[in-house]
Amino acid sequence: MDIVIYHNPACGTSRNTLALIRHVGIEPHVIEYLKTPPSRALVAQMVERTGGSVRDILREKGTPYAELGLGDPGLSDDQLLDAIEAHPILMNRPIVVSPRGVKLCRPSEAVLDLLPQEGLKPFTKADGEVVIDADGRRVGALVAG
């Protein structure tokens, strides 16, 4: 399975998401998006594939979000894409692209929706939270129905 993760190694959620992908036996294409930002067109395409809006992937914390006035509901998607292009830190992470879809994986276990479900092995996040139990079942709010 071909997986791409737009990753920030300084982010715990991004690290946990990457660990979950590797945990199921997939070595993804890792793109450190602050070093190699995706093009404006690619960001727009990913947003479209999530089924959401550009605003859904905006990161506020630790970014120039407030300084740029990006909370203004009157801003268009084009204006928000311009801001992300100029300041890639505004793109929330991690975004994962898989044959099963594209998703902003917050919390990290959201990535399980994009990965094979067969033969899941136990997994515990770095903070001690169990994501996959000893029986290979997803644990918590995102349990598959």
pLDDT digit of tens for each residue in the chain (145 aa)? 899 999 999 999 999 999 999 999 999 999 999 999 999 999 999 999 999 999 999 999 999 999 999 999 999 999 999 999 999 999 999 999 999 999 999 999 999 999 988 878 898 988 889 999 988 888 875 444 3
Of the residues 11, 24, 70, 83, only one is catalytic, namely: 11
The first and second tokens of residue 68, run together, are 């740029």
Is 105 marked active-site? Answer: no
The model's pTM: 0.90
How do strand 4-7 and strand 95-98 relate by DSSP bridges?
antiparallel
Query: Tell me, what amino acid is at 53?
Result: S
Q: Report the C-alpha dihedral over residues 113, 119, 122, 127, rounded to 10 degrees.
A: -20
